Structure 1
Amino acid sequence: MALRRTIQYSRISAVRRGRVGEVNEAITGGTRLAPGRRAFPVARLATLALAGFLAGCGGNAPPPTFDLLAPRDNLSVRPGRGLIVVAEPSALAALDTTRLVVMTRGGGIAYIGDAQWSDRLPKLVQVRLIQTFENAKRLTGVGRPGDRLLPMAQLNSEIRRFGIDEATGEAVIEMSVKIVQDSTGRILAGQIFTRSVPSGGSGGPVAAAALDLAMQDMLRDIVRWTSARI
């Protein structure tokens, strides 16, 4: 890309100075045209050079999209007897996004440019948590608030960390989870869950894969913990 831009700039600069020979030399990679061969008109060359420069720098294609998966295996848990609803997790604005987060060494937050989640992170986590409960088949039922269910309890959660830790090179997830009795609003149980796995880098595909692996482990932990208390 840098080489292309250098060539394009040299073409445009030469055209502006009226030095057609330099333009043809730039196009042919340093080989001058043989005597008697006709060069492109200067105006035409300028148009082509500018169009090529803009084409090389343009493009607003969205980054590749990645997903979190609901685990189907290793879900042996104590059978529960209740029906619960799973609320969408709360999160700070920096995490309430489709972008993949990098937690920098200085305590800041950056985003990975070549990747995005398939939905806002809190919404995606809610959907995969519900699906994991369904895959475990250990509760009477599970749904969302507003599904017109009569639940025993609601599962509230907060996403505290969800990204690549630049200092350790790990994918790190931390969530606070509470089981709240639906009829009284009383907190029946609470737990903070943390998972981390090596990420192998902060590029989009490897970061997304590491975060998905850590999330699947955490989903299993949350489902086991909740099912034992409902």
Structure 2
Amino acid sequence: MSKLPALRLPLVALAVSLALAGCGGGAAPTTFDLSAPSDFGRVGGSRATLIVAEPTTVQALDSDRMIVRDGSGSLSFLGGAQWADRVPRLVQTRLIQTFENGSRIGSVSRPGERIVPDLQLNTDIRSFNIDAPSGQAVVEITAKLVGDRNGKIQRAKLFSARVPSVAGDGGAAAQALDRALSQVMIEIVRWAGRG
């Protein structure tokens, strides 16, 4: 009976020291944001009202961490770097802003903003990572335009871009992923904005 309290004290001390080491041990990660392109022209477009749903994705990409894929397909987090928000939420926000910047649609918003949409844009993020073997940022997003009144898929397409990057450098990786995403978003906006 007297040995139980003696064992408990070292375990509590170990837990406290591990918690303290975790709090003050490492530097805070650098936070990166994504941009919404605005220099792709205002050519034509639809007058439709569009809702942009938050993209779906796999669990590994549904975070604020930067991901590196190695040659075997294993995923790891790029240490010392993070996004300003969860990737799906950040992509949704920048995609809405890209539509607004291009003036290629009547109005655009996210679900729940009290508009009656003509269409809904559903997207799925297939890839949003640095591919270590090729040294490239890879962004792949599927997009589906759904008639909001009838729920039928009107059009669907896969959009992808690859941009050279440096896998171990958070700043270079963020810039490359931002450029690749910008290419994909411009293509999605042009595609969705066709009458």
- Give the structure-2-normalised TM-score: 0.86
Per-residue CA distance 1:12-34 (angstroms, 9 max, x = gap): xxxxxxxxxxxxxxxxxxxxxxx
Q: Are residue 132 (structure 1) and residue 132 (structure 2) matched?
A: no
> Which runs of structure 2 are paired with 1:1-230 in the superposition (5 Å)?
58-229=24-195
Contact 1:199–1:210 (8 Å) recurs in 2 = yes
Q: Give the count of matched residue pairs.
A: 175
Partner of 1:42: none
Task: Give 5+ residue unaligned stretches, structure 2.
Answer: 1-19
Q: CA RMSD in A?
A: 1.6
Structure with more strand by fraction: 2
Task: Give 5+ residue unaligned stretches, structure 1.
Answer: 1-53
Partner of 1:41: none
SS, match of residue 61 in structure 2: coil
Contact 2:51–2:108 (8 Å) recurs in 1 = yes
**AA matched with 2:193:** S
SS, match of residue 94 in structure 1: helix
* Whole-angstrom CA distance in 1 between matches of 2:109 and 2:166: 36
Report the CA distance between 1:59 and its aligned residue: 2.9
Kindly, what percent of the aligned residue pairs are identical? Answer: 47
- Give the structure-1-normalised TM-score: 0.73
**AA matched with 1:124:** L
Partner of 2:6: none
* Pair member with larger Rg: 1
Contact 1:66–1:208 (8 Å) recurs in 2 = yes
Higher relative CO (CA 8 A, sep ≥ 6), structure 1 or 2? Answer: 2
